[in-house]
Amino acid sequence: MSESDFKTPIKKDKPVEDKITIPPSPFLHRLGYGTGVSVLQLVRSPRAGQIRSPWALKMINKRVKHNKVYSERLQTEAELLQRMSHPNIVGFRAFSKSKTLFLGMEACEISLGDMIEKRAEEECEPFTEKQILKVALDIGKALDYLHTKMQLLHGDMKSYNILVNGDFEVCKLCDFGVTLPLDENGVFDKMNAGKAVYYGTEAWSAPEVIHGGEISSKTDIWPLGLTLWEMMALMPPHSQMDESAEDSMCLDDSVQSTEEDFFSERYGTRPPMPANIAERQFAGSLALFHACTQTRPKDRPSALHLATVAEEMMVRSGNP
């Protein structure tokens, strides 16, 4: 099966608001969830003898507070997705503001974050260098399109926002609900951002987010580097506690607070090389990880440069 089989079909129609029948949630397969939203799979009935591909439906959790905020965010994401067309960005399918508000997208097989969790639970080996480089290649291309063609910062790069089809035949970037505008220099465009601020997820956030600094396209590169690290370490960044910290917490009455402080103090720093891998075996992946997690944003590669280097590494290793 070739990568072209997984390319996102180009949709040029306006957002679909036809009468689309959505069955009750218990009859939908849950694919994932996020802050204020759930992602469910809709298996569509055949039409006129034709098999129709399933959709992933992003829907607002009715019990969540600030429902209006999430509804507006979902509509913004729908409008953005419809404007985009790239093989490494999840495809737009429909948007409905009728009785049930939902965003319909192409359904991919699984998120990279879920794959990492499953591998860790089953005590499997880390992902292969080929698989890690493929993520760097595909998501690097997606971010280059987002940063240069759309002039947008993703704003919440992490393994759970990367979808994988097959054995890494293609990887796609998803979840564009907290994007931020970039100017022609790739810097956060505050003039056109309105009240929007950087959202992100702290454990993956770059130093300039944690400690204050200029937000730019390079702010997406740092968490992508941490995602490559996750594929080797099989754990979220900054989630491992060393023995000295564990010993000190045994003497502390407020263990929960101390644990939170331990992890939060490491946000915005580069995690150490995973202890479970052979450095020589993952030389390429480690090189990309270190390049992406340079403290100074200007020292990090652009998304295009990252994708180009990853592809060259795959070719040299005989795994194009």
Residue 229: band (very low, low, confident or very high) from pLDDT cuts 50, 70, 90: very high
pLDDT of residue 101: 78
Q: What is the DSSP letter of 34?
A: E
- Over range 224-233, report the average pLDDT: 97
pLDDT of residue 47: 62
pLDDT of residue 4: 47
Q: Which of 106, 129, 161 is the last residue of a domain?
A: 106
Distance CA 304, CA 216 (A): 15
Whole-prediction pTM value?
0.82
**Is 293 or 277 the better-scoring residue by pLDDT?**
293
- Is 1 contained in some domain? no
Contact 1, 169 (CB under 8 A): yes
Contact 162, 220 (CB under 8 A): no
Query: Are 274 and 139 contained in the same domain?
Result: yes
Residue 82: band (very low, low, confident or very high) from pLDDT cuts 50, 70, 90: very high
- Over range 211-224, report the average pLDDT: 97
At 31, phi and psi to the nearest 5?
A: -100, -30
Catalytic residues: 156
pLDDT of residue 57: 82
- Is 31 contained in some domain? yes
Is the pLDDT assigned to residue 49 strictly greater than 90?
no
- Over range 11-30, report the average pLDDT: 52
**Is 170 or 68 the better-scoring residue by pLDDT?**
170
Query: Are 115 and 102 contained in the same domain?
Result: no
pLDDT tens-digit series, residues 99-151:
677 888 888 889 999 999 999 999 999 999 999 999 999 999 999 999 999 99
Q: Which of 77, 106, 135 is the last residue of a domain?
A: 106
- Over range 80-96, report the average pLDDT: 92
- Is 294 contained in some domain? yes
Q: Which CA distances in Å does 93 have to 32, 50, 85, 110?
A: 18, 17, 12, 18
Distance CA 165, CA 109 (A): 5
pLDDT tens-digit series, residues 246-285:
444 455 555 555 556 666 788 999 999 988 898 889 999 9
Query: Are 102 and 114 contained in the same domain?
Result: no
Is the pLDDT assigned to residue 230 strictly greater than 60?
yes
In this structure, of 41-50, 106-115, 296-305, the range with the lowest mean pLDDT score is 41-50
Q: Which of 82, 106, 130 is the last residue of a domain?
A: 106
Query: Are 86 and 165 contained in the same domain?
Result: no
Query: Are 153 and 217 contained in the same domain?
Result: yes
Distance CA 75, CA 103 (A): 8
Query: Are 81 and 154 contained in the same domain?
Result: no
Query: Are 19 and 93 contained in the same domain?
Result: yes
- Write a three-state SS string for 214-271: CCECHHHHHHHHHHHHHHHHCCCCCCCCCHHHHHHHCCCCCHHHHHHHHHHCCCCCCC
Is the pLDDT assigned to residue 157 strictly greater than 60?
yes
In this structure, of 133-137, 183-187, 278-282, 298-302, the range with the lowest mean pLDDT score is 278-282
Is the pLDDT assigned to residue 300 strictly greater than 90?
yes
Distance CA 116, CA 227 (A): 10
Q: What is the DSSP letter of 149?
A: I
pLDDT of residue 108: 85
- Domain holding 166, by residue range, is 110-316
Query: Are 302 and 157 contained in the same domain?
Result: yes
pLDDT of residue 242: 53
Contact 260, 203 (CB under 8 A): no
Share of the chain above pLDDT 90, in %: 55
Residue 163: band (very low, low, confident or very high) from pLDDT cuts 50, 70, 90: very high
Is the pLDDT assigned to residue 318 strictly greater than 50?
yes
- Is 3 contained in some domain? no
Please state, rounded to an integer, the average pLDDT across all residues of the chain: 83
Query: Are 193 and 168 contained in the same domain?
Result: yes
Q: Residue 37 in 3-state DSSP?
A: strand
Query: Are 30 and 178 contained in the same domain?
Result: no
The CATH number given to whatever domain includes residue 144 is: 1.10.510.10
The closest of 72, 87, 77 to 57, measured between CA atoms, is 77
Is the pLDDT assigned to residue 288 strictly greater than 50?
yes
Count of domains for the chain: 2
pLDDT of residue 18: 47
Is the pLDDT assigned to residue 243 strictly greater than 60?
no
Q: Which CA distances in Å does 83 have to 77, 88, 90, 187, 219?
A: 10, 14, 12, 21, 23
Longest dimension (CA), the chain: 69
